[in-house]
Structures are given as structure tokens and as C-alpha cells.
């Protein structure tokens, strides 16, 4: 990087003037809830399309019993019976057949000529539970995407080539100019600048700390990554993307405890990596606590995820380390 932000003793001062800059405003909370609603709709789209396909297939028969003659809809019938995909993996064929028969006997046959609608409604009911489970981590996923996009933008503007780790196949690929939407699949980034190789990994278990850490910056390339060497760790951070103000204090307590464990574990082996915090919902009291830790040099950097300037500043700092 042209400006070595990593050498700045108080890098947070580049985007924060006092604790109040960290506080999430009402407008930012509202925008966060809208973003979650849009994400819920995005994730629901496959389920809606599955329901439409199920309705089209089921509409070809005249009675619920005939549903058993339609190829390839057994998984959908199990879902409509209230069996999740995870539960289905633990059932024997006879258990699955019994669950489907219960669906036909207790719900579809009493629905009469409306059995297709009843089938689709019950299918969507179970899929709704699946969606609800996935949405519990949606805030974190959105936060990770935002950070990823900011880091990629920082590297690209600096003319630094990068590699990214695909979350599905766990393979590294070279970043290209056509990188739209790759933040949906990124599980790590790697780059080289000024003769320094750096790799940022998401959600990895750090053996020294014996727990998962949200963000880990290592002094190596992707092929040399090892999490067992304390000397490779440059910075470790916690990312809390939940936007609900009611859960803000709890998110900070969890993150603060994790950061304290990191510092304690590395201090025991004579290492002192940087620690940082990204949060979406930051209330007054926790903002004051974070600011105090920054001023006392306990925490190295922090930013509010709902503030684009702060995210960019902290991203530039990470890329400069």
C-alpha cells in the first residue's frame, strides 16, 4: 500500500474522533433490517420455486394416494410431512414410508379436492423453518460480504492482485476484473504487497485459542497456511453483523470475551497480534467500552459495519499490515 497504515499507532483515529462515532444510528438500524428482509427473500426464492414445481407435479393426479406414483417427489412429500432434510438422513425407508402415509391419511385425504394446496402449504411450512434457521446467521453473512467487498475494492484500487478461497470447493482462484458477486462465496483472501504475503481467513479454529475466530490475518501465502504457528498471526478480529439493538450488548460481550482470550493465549507464548472489532449494532454503552479499549491500546482497531467510511478505513488498515 502507498501509505503504510500498519505503522500508525492508533489507526482507529483515521475514522473515529470519539466513542459516539461508533454508535449505530436509527437510520442505519432501519437500513439493516431492510437488508435482512431482502436477504430473506433471496434465500426464500429456491423454496418458492420448489413449491411451484411440486404443485405442477401433484396437479397431474386425482387423489392423494396417486402422489406415490409420481417419480422423484418423495423428498418433497417427506418435507410436507414435517421431516427436515437433516432428519430424513437418519430415517430408514420404512420410517419415511410411514411418515408419508401419515401425511396422506391425516392431512391430504381430509382436504378432499384441495389436497394439492394442502400439500404445498405443508411443504412451505417446513421449508419456512429451514429458512428461519439459516436466517439466524444471515447478519454475519451479510457483514462478511460487506467486509470482503471493501477489502477487494481496496486491493483493486491499489493495483494489487489477489486470490480468493471458494467456500464450496475450498480452492483458491485468482481474482479477476469480472468479480461481481464473488463475495457470496469467499471464505478467504490472499495478496502480496511490498514483498509481504498476506492471507485473510474467515471463521477458522485457532488451536492456540481453542475456539473459532471470525477473522484471521496471517503472514504467509495461501499455500503456506498453517494455523499451528503463532508466529504467523498478524491480526485477529471479531465480526458481529446482527443489527437488532436488543442484542447489541450480548454480541459485544461475546466478542469482547473472544478477543480477551486471544490476547491471553498469544501473550502466554510471547506474541502480541493486533485485535480488532467490527459491529453492526453498537449502542452507547458498548461504544464507550470499545473506545476506552482503543485508547488504552487493548483493542487495536474498531469500526461500525453500517458506516461505509469506517469499513473502508479499517479494510485499508488490514491490507497495509
CATH number, domain of 250, equals 3.40.91.10
- Model pTM above 0.85: no
Residue 123 lies in a domain: yes
**CA–CA dist 214, 311 (Å, integer):** 16
Q: Is 304 exposed, middle or buried (0-12, 13-18, 19+ CB in 10 A)?
A: buried
160 Rama class: left (phi>0) / alpha (psi -120 to 50) / beta: beta
Write 290-293 long-range contacts (CB < 8 A, 24+). 290/19, 290/22, 290/252, 291/16, 291/18, 291/19, 291/22, 292/19
Quick one: 261 and 117 in the same domain?
Answer: no
Q: Which residue from 5, 7, 19 is spatially nearest to 296, judged by alpha carbons? A: 19
Residue 87: which domain range?
59-135
Q: What is the CATH number of the domain that holds 124?
A: 1.10.238.90
Quote the CA–CA distance of 265 and 227 in Å, as a whole number.
Answer: 14
* DSSP string for 1-52: --S-GGG-S-GGGGT-SSGGGGSPPHHHHHHHHHHHHHHHHHHHHHHHHHHH
pLDDT of residue 318: 94
Please indicate, yes or no, if residue 44 is contained in any of the structural domains: no
Q: What pLDDT sits at residue 195? A: 86
Q: 35: how many CB neighbours lie within 10 A of its CB? A: 18
* Domain count of the fold of the chain: 2
Out of 88, 107, 135, pick the residue that ends a domain. 135
Q: Are residues 247 and 316 in the same domain?
A: yes
Identify the bridge partners of residue 188 per DSSP, sorted by sequence position: 201
Instruction: Clarify whether residues 177 and 287 are in a common domain.
Output: yes
Q: Running along the chain, 321 residues long, what does each successive block of 10 average in pLDDT?
A: 62 93 89 80 86 93 92 90 86 90 93 93 86 66 86 91 90 83 88 91 94 95 93 94 83 92 96 94 93 95 93 94 92
Q: In degrees, to the nearest 5, what angle opens at C-alpha 182 toward C-alphas 221 and 205?
A: 50
Amino acid at each position: 500500500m502507498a501509505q503504510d497504515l500498519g505503522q500508525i499507532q492508533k489507526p482507529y483515529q483515521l475514522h473515529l474522533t470519539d466513542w459516539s462515532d461508533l454508535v449505530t444510528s436509527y437510520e442505519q438500524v432501519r437500513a439493516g433490517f431492510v437488508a435482512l428482509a431482502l436477504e430473506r427473500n433471496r434465500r426464500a426464492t429456491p423454496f418458492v420455486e420448489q413449491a411451484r414445481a411440486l404443485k405442477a407435479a401433484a396437479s397431474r393426479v386425482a387423489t392423494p394416494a396417486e402422489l406415490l406414483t409420481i417419480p422423484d417427489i418423495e423428498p418433497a412429500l417427506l418435507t410436507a410431512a414435517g421431516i427436515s432434510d437433516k432428519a430424513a438422513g437418519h430415517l430408514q425407508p420404512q420410517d419415511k414410508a410411514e411418515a408419508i402415509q401419515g401425511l396422506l391419511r391425516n392431512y391430504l385425504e381430509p382436504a378432499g379436492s384441495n389436497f394439492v394446496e394442502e400439500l404445498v402449504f405443508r411443504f412451505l411450512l417446513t421449508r419456512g423453518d429451514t429458512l428461519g434457521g439459516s436466517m439466524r446467521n444471515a447478519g454475519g453473512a451479510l457483514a462478511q460480504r460487506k467486509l470482503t467487498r471493501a477489502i477487494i475494492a481496496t486491493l483493486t484500487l491499489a493495483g494489487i492482485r489477489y486470490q480468493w478461497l471458494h467456500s464450496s470447493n475450498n480452492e483458491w482462484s485468482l481474482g479477476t476484473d469480472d468479480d461481481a458477486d464473488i463475495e457470496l462465496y469467499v471464505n478467504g483472501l490472499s495478496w502480496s504487497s511490498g514483498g509481504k504475503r498476506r492471507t485473510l481467513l474467515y471463521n477458522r479454529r485457532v488451536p492456540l485459542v481453542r475456539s473459532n475466530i471470525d477473522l484471521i490475518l496471517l503472514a504467509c501465502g495461501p499455500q503456506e497456511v498453517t494455523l499451528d504457528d503463532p508466529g504467523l498471526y498478524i491480526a485477529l478480529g471479531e465480526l458481529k453483523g446482527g443489527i437488532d439493538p436488543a442484542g447489541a450488548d450480548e454480541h459485544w460481550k461475546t466478542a469482547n470475551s473472544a478477543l480477551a482470550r486471544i490476547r491471553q493465549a498469544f501473550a502466554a507464548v510471547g506474541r502480541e497480534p493486533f485485535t480488532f472489532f467490527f459491529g453492526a449494532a453498537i449502542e452507547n454503552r458498548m461504544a464507550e467500552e470499545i473506545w476506552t479499549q482503543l485508547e488504552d491500546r487493548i483493542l487495536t482497531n474498531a469500526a461500525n459495519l453500517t458506516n461505509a467510511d469506517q469499513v473502508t478505513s479499517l479494510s485499508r488498515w488490514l491490507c497495509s499490515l
